[in-house]
Amino acid sequence: MSSLEQNPIICEICGARIETTASGDLGCMACLLRVGLGEAANHAAVAPDAVLDSLGPYVIVRREDGTLWELGRGAMGVTYRAQDNSLQRQVALKIIKTDLAGRSAEARERFIREARAAAALRHPNVATVYQFGIDEESGQCFYAMELVEGETLDERVRRTGPLDVRAVIEIARQITAALAEAAKRGLVHRDLKPANVMLATAADDSPEMAVKVIDFGVAKALTAAPDRRELTHGGFIGTPAFASPEQFTDAPVDVRSDIYSLGATLWYVLSGHLPFGDRAGARPPPIEQLKAAHVPARLISLLVSMLAIEPAARPGVQDLAAKLEAMQKRSPQRRLLAAAGILVFASAAAYFWHWFPAAPSPGAPAPEKSIAVLPFENLSDDKENSYFAAGVQDEILTDLARIADLKVISRTSVLGYAPNTNRDLREIGRALDVAYVLEGSVQPRGGQVRVSIQLLDTRTNTQVWAESYDRDLADVFAVQSDVALQITSELQVTLSPREKSAIRENPTQDVVAFDLYARARTLRLTATFGAQFKDRFLQTVELLNEAVARDPSFFQAWCELAAVQDLLYSAGYDHTPARLALAENAVQTALRLHPEAGLAQLTLARHLYQGHRDYDRARIALQIARQTLPNNAEALALIGY
């Protein structure tokens, strides 16, 4: 493969890949097409011949051939080397596209407001902005910033190919420091990419790498009112290939959007590839690209978390800084010592923390947005329907556990709180460290079902909300979704469109298949190792096989079946290639049905760990799973293992 194919050239204006030949690049076909369609005025950068020789005290420097000394161009405009005649220093002068700034008083006011916020940012890893201005005669917006001698990160990759891991971690650490300082001031870059990161030339031949983030001048101040008409909120600003998913919607952005862009930038610098092509997509990133570049699994996991579709699933800027610093300090010798010292402890601790939740700090109040879904009471005369009640409870809990803005206690942690009239809610709240509990009862009768729900505040022992649903048995799934959505409303929980869509999705249309699945899941989660373990799990396999036979598209049942097959194999009850093949078939079926689902990735991670002892790939799959399963206790326990 040629070096041009390994290191694709990306259009600075639209983010599309530029086709290359042996004689050079052909230019951006997407931009050329827009020009041909008469859209050049909206998308092309400012033409050099349209730029004045001087703006305020700044005179653009010319090269020996008389042309303007252009430093770079992008979606926002063109940057030139210029001379500041007032202070007798050279600067980088950014000429903003006229169509962005406009000529109206409102546009000028917005520009100056944002400019003042950006100019206040001072940090060693940010190119300092000296002045913003608008030329009164031409209406041309511009700003002058620190001239950084060196090359952009994009130029370095195109010149030398992908960078080594140690250098990339250092670059990431310095960029993160810049983002942390910007976040303190409510600033978001919104166009972080390799072309906006400078590797400064050391004046004293120092081996230390100096990184400068440029173009913070187009950042949006988050302190502005979230009005759709404001530039701080509406409208896409940035380069599609490196922009976060929320930048293509009407959602407000914060530093987590820049963390996504940083993740895409580091991915490109390490592999020479873009993780999602020309624009982010709702699919797992192709980690094979990083593996081919021999990127350590720990760094791959971090990058995957930075590229999470949901902003809440990405690491915070302080957390990211701490992880990068830990990676930088962690030598091979220290890794071996650490692994030898904590391996047994970590495995044991993970098991006990999973089954016995840690007690909250004395006197610390429970998080306001926290809930435990207690076991539901079966009011049917047929005690066999207790499995169905457990299934309804489990589905509501599963729906709530998908929400990043809500703390949800796992099912295994609430199993001991069986329905009775003597439950002390205050004591339960203190033990589980939750502000609310959800109680319920289920009463199937013939083709009908009654589901009664009440949401209770554990701190005051008062009822917050209650409802009873009388529906056809086939409508029980809609009831589960309605309950979950009502709880989010009562607790004022922020729901992303993706989370809301997942809650609305029914597990199956077959009530009998759901009952079989509920029985099997209860058997697995309440099983203990011992003489009856194998027989109980073989019974679970039979129930799940019957469930997927009734509904071959029952995704959750396939995931549960894979979990049970893997347990039978890894625990030694049936450690045969045939059992492993059955587990593999269930895993692949789940991935085929919903490849992007967090539960599918958790199922894959469990299979890689228990079936193949492939820890690196299991850890990466877990990182992907955690993006949409923030409260899943099994994922947390498996991370510990």
Catalytic residues, by residue number, are 191
Cβ atoms < 10 Å from Cβ of 545: 16
CB 145 within 8 A of CB 130: yes
Rounded to an integer, what distance in angstroms lies between the CA atom of residue 313 and that of residue 625?
Answer: 10
Q: What is the phi/psi pair of residue 450, to 5°?
A: -115, 125
Tokens representing residue 20 in the block: 């290359």
The DSSP secondary structure of 320-369, one letter per residue, reads: HHHHHHHHHH--HHHHHHHHHHHHHHHHHHHHHHHHSPPPPPTTPPPPSS
Rounded to an integer, what distance in angstroms lies between the CA atom of residue 529 and that of residue 570?
Answer: 12
The DSSP secondary structure of 138-201, one letter per residue, reads: T--EEEEEE---EEEHHHHHHHH-SPPHHHHHHHHHHHHHHHHHHHHTTEE-S--SGGGEEEEP
The DSSP secondary structure of 254-322, one letter per residue, reads: -HHHHHHHHHHHHHHHHHSS-TTTTS--SS---THHHHHTT--HHHHHHHHHHT-SSGGGSPPHHHHHH
Tokens representing residue 619 in the block: 């850890």
Cβ atoms < 10 Å from Cβ of 85: 12
3-state helix, strand and coil shares in percent for the chain, rounded to the nearest 5: 50, 15, 35
CB 81 within 8 A of CB 90: yes
Tokens representing residue 357 in the block: 């939740």
The residue with tokens 């850890």 is 619
The DSSP secondary structure of 188-247, one letter per residue, reads: E-S--SGGGEEEEPPTT--SS-EEEE--GGG-EETTS---TTSTTTSS--S-GGG--GGG
CB 233 within 8 A of CB 190: no
Rounded to an integer, what distance in angstroms lies between the CA atom of residue 351 and that of residue 296?
Answer: 26
Q: List C-alpha distances in Å: 562 to 511, 550, 555, 623.
A: 21, 17, 11, 19
Considering only CA atoms, which of 105, 116, 123 is closest in space to residue 213?
123
